[in-house]
Amino acid sequence: MSSAEAAVGEPDPGSRQIEFRDALREAMSEEMRRDVRVFLLGEEVAQYHGAYKVSRGMVDEFGERRIIDTPISESGFAGMAIGAAMLGLRPIVEFMSWSFSLVAADPILNNAPKMLYMSGGQFGCPIVFRGNDGAGGQLGSTHSWCVEGLYSNVPGVKIAIPSCPYDAKGLLKTAIRDDDPVFFLESERMLSVKGAVPEEEYLIPFGRGIVRRRGADCTLASWGRPVNFCLEAAEELAKEGIDCEVIDLRTIRPLDLETVVRSVQRTNCCVVVDQSWSFGSPGSELAAQVHAACFDDLDNFVHRVHSADVPTPYASNLEQEYLPNVRRICEAVRHATYRA
Amino acid sequence: MTRVSPSTGQRVFDVHGATERPAIAPPRHAPVQPAVDDATLTRWLRDMLLIREFEVRCMQAYQDKKIGGFCHVYIGQEAVAVGCTAAIEAKDPMVTAYRDHGHALARGMSARACMAEMFGRIGGCAKGKGGSMHMFDRANNLFGGHGIVGAQTPLGAGLAFATKYEDEVINGGRSNRVTLCFLGDGALNQGAFHEAMNLAGLFNLPVIFIVENNGYSMGTSIHRGTTMGHDLSSKALGYGIDAEVIDGMDVLEVHAGMSKVVADARRRSRPWFVDMRCYRFKGHSMSDPRKYRTREEEEVFEAGDPIGRLERVMRDRGALDDLRFKEMQKAVREEVRDAVKWADESPAPSVGELHHDVFVEPWGPYTGTSFPPFLREQGLKAPWREEECP
């Protein structure tokens, strides 16, 4: 896992190493101290201190009026939080897993992102939905959704997907201050990963990707956990003489096409790595946009690496093959650069 | 559905499951009638007449194809919206379902803004982007009509949560607001409603769930779609929530019953469930020929028209005479005619409006499908005519 490379204007990550989950908690706690309208609700967030211990200790500081345990009732508490947001509060809704958010699809897709538009600009919905997204850890098919493919389809949402603790904190603070609904996608597989996070306050703006690794032969564009696989793949490929540039988009709505295009104009080659299913996914959208913007620059069509087009399998070996992994990313780059 | 009463031998329409009484059940606890002065009654009558006239003109405009989509008129249920809004204060939030024109007008939205929204014009309350099922009015604390059955019930709980949070966490108990959340009897079979009831009961939220029980969810009678349809208050029992049955065809009963419920919800910060017995004179929507019920049944209920009932009360009191009544009818006709004219003359939203109001602040270099400016700076052209995509 490589440490975050701070973008221009962002503070130096420094030497303090903390876990991904602690970065998330710091972001929430700092914002709750700053703004009394911010509160956290979800299953097991208070007395149990978070199913994944992201909210550990927060109830001790903020009390049960602001760190709120809910019943297992996603549709109810997501809708309730949206109602509260319409009246000016700034809820953070924790879904234990984004897979479970599917039972709340009506409020989070039909209400939150559409409210401003339907009301002709009268009622915004400043809310953050966050939780664990994606497969890994052999949880089987129902618990292993990558919801970005599904949710990025709806206008009015912003989707942030951090790939390291530094981004987790900076992006979540931005999400909480955002006046629109933000879907914040974490990965259970990354919660205990450590990374450098500065003590000082910083915000990471939405819609600006970051170049994690410079390279001349092929642009690897990704977000979230697979960024780390891309960095590993780039190291592998470097041994074969293929020099990859790795871009972490950080948010997929808004999508930073500019950083990708500027890179592809130099490398003339692009591979998109997206852990959601390929059909109608953000990776497909990005590939289409890169084709439109870089038609004359590309030496090959944009290759894509997605999760396999099957329900997530339980067996460990199948699950590893199902997800975008270093081997499959390397293969895609070799094909895209005519080295296969 | 009709039954023959064993005691009288007469046919009884059993819309609400009351077997031997007229279909509108009396409230279980007779509310103490608060003194209502003549001026207030006059205002209520005017508001009910306005809603009735508005809906009649909506039906016409729909047939003239001035109004698109679905159109669910509120005729017959006017006493509910007027009586309920009369029982709360301006500061209290209100949220409702798709049959929402009556609520919007009762809450104080102008007939012009309401009608222009129906017409899909820029002068509408939501610039024509919401439509008939989605009436929003921030100034009057109306948090929307919502098109998905039951979807507004967790939102109602959330509004009440926010008022309570404001009082307990932010400013220390000053506003003490109560939220009214309207739903139809069909919404009782949606999971969202039960989750909202559970959360409201659990968190002691000052929200009143008002079931406008007109006996039909679309074309399905309550007895074919809802268990315990004859006694909806049993739904509240399971959540430890207090319930009241109110005759929704009588604005005085609605006001009296709701005043009591609102006062209690405010004082104790507790949810309430109200089975508001009423009747929908027209079909579910404009496309509904209402073949699932008899003309005879409709005539029985039309005889209990809420406007006629208030009119009689006022005449008996000497608060209304023929002349006054005609004047009021004329005035609301004029008001609605003006609204229709105004809506008709209000322009359609500019095409530029298509991309507005998606986010609070415009963000990113790319709005909709517009061509990224940095590519234009590089001398590249958009593959489509940009002026078409403002």
**Per-residue pLDDT tens listing for chain A (340 residues):** 333 445 556 888 999 999 999 999 999 999 999 999 999 999 999 999 999 999 999 999 999 999 999 999 999 999 999 999 999 999 999 999 999 999 999 999 999 999 999 999 899 999 999 999 998 889 999 999 999 999 999 999 999 999 999 999 999 999 999 999 999 999 999 999 999 999 999 999 998 999 999 999 999 999 999 999 999 999 999 999 999 999 999 999 999 999 999 999 999 999 999 999 999 999 999 999 999 999 999 999 999 999 999 999 999 999 999 999 999 999 999 999 999 8
Predicted pLDDT of residue B365 = 38
Q: With beta carbons under 8 A apart, name residues in chain B contacting A75.
A: 154, 191-192, 195
SS3 state of residue A246: strand
Provide the terminal-to-terminal Cα distance of chain B, rounded to the nearest Å: 55
Percent of chain B at pLDDT exceeding 70: 84
For residue B86, what pLDDT band results from cuts at 50, 70 and 90?
A: very high
Q: What is the interface size between A and B, counted as CB pairs within 8 Å?
A: 173
Predicted pLDDT of residue B369 = 40
Q: With beta carbons under 8 A apart, name residues in chain A contacting B162.
A: 83-84, 86-89
Distance, CA of A33 to CA of A31 (rounded, Å): 5
Sequence-ordered alpha helix ranges (H) in A122-164: 148-151
CA R_g for chain A: 19
Contact A73, A95 (CB under 8 A): no
For residue B172, what pLDDT band results from cuts at 50, 70 and 90?
A: confident
Of B141, B171, B172, B175, the residue nearest B156 (C-alpha): B141
Contact B360, A124 (CB under 8 A): yes
Predicted pLDDT of residue B21 = 39
Residue range B92-98: mean pLDDT, rounded: 98
Predicted pLDDT of residue A250 = 96
Please judge whether B195 and A79 are an interchain contact, meaning their C-beta atoms are less than 8 angstroms apart: yes
Please judge whether A87 and B156 are an interchain contact, meaning their C-beta atoms are less than 8 angstroms apart: no
Of A156, A154, A151, A249, the residue nearest A206 (C-alpha): A249
Distances (CA, A) of A105 to A178, A276, B183: 21, 18, 20
Task: Tell me which residues of chain B, numbers 346 to 375, contact chain A at a CB-CB cutoff of 8 Å.
Answer: 356-361, 363-366, 372, 374-375
Say if B178 is an interface residue toward chain A (CB within 8 Å).
no
A107, closest residue in chain B (CA to CA): B151
Predicted pLDDT of residue B387 = 43
Of B72, B67, B127, B118, the residue nearest B96 (C-alpha): B72
B363, closest residue in chain A (CA to CA): A254
Mean of the per-residue pLDDT values of chain B: 88
Predicted pLDDT of residue B16 = 77
Predicted pLDDT of residue B373 = 61
For residue B50, what pLDDT band results from cuts at 50, 70 and 90?
A: very high
Question: Looking up tokens 């440490």, which residue turns up?
Answer: A3
Say if B379 is an interface residue toward chain A (CB within 8 Å).
no
Predicted pLDDT of residue B360 = 82
SS3 state of residue A224: coil
For residue B3, what pLDDT band results from cuts at 50, 70 and 90?
A: low
The answer for B148, left when phi > 0, alpha when psi is -120 to 50, beta otherwise, is beta
Q: Could you give the count of Cα atoms lying within 13 Å of A166 in the half-sphere of its Cβ?
A: 23
Active site residues of A: 74, 143
- In Å, how far is A98's CA from the nearest CA of chain B? 19
Say if B118 is an interface residue toward chain A (CB within 8 Å).
no
* Other CB atoms within 10 A of residue B102 CB: 31
Q: With beta carbons under 8 A apart, name residues in chain A contacting B95.
A: 83
Predicted pLDDT of residue B389 = 34
Predicted pLDDT of residue A290 = 95
A254, closest residue in chain B (CA to CA): B364
Please judge whether B95 and A77 are an interchain contact, meaning their C-beta atoms are less than 8 angstroms apart: no
Predicted pLDDT of residue B6 = 57
> Which of A66, A81, A255 lies nearest to residue B169, judging by beta carbons?
A66
For residue B174, what pLDDT band results from cuts at 50, 70 and 90?
A: confident
Residue range B15-35: mean pLDDT, rounded: 54
For residue B171, what pLDDT band results from cuts at 50, 70 and 90?
A: confident
Please judge whether A111 and B151 are an interchain contact, meaning their C-beta atoms are less than 8 angstroms apart: yes
> Which of A37, A65, A293 lies nearest to residue B375, judging by beta carbons?
A293
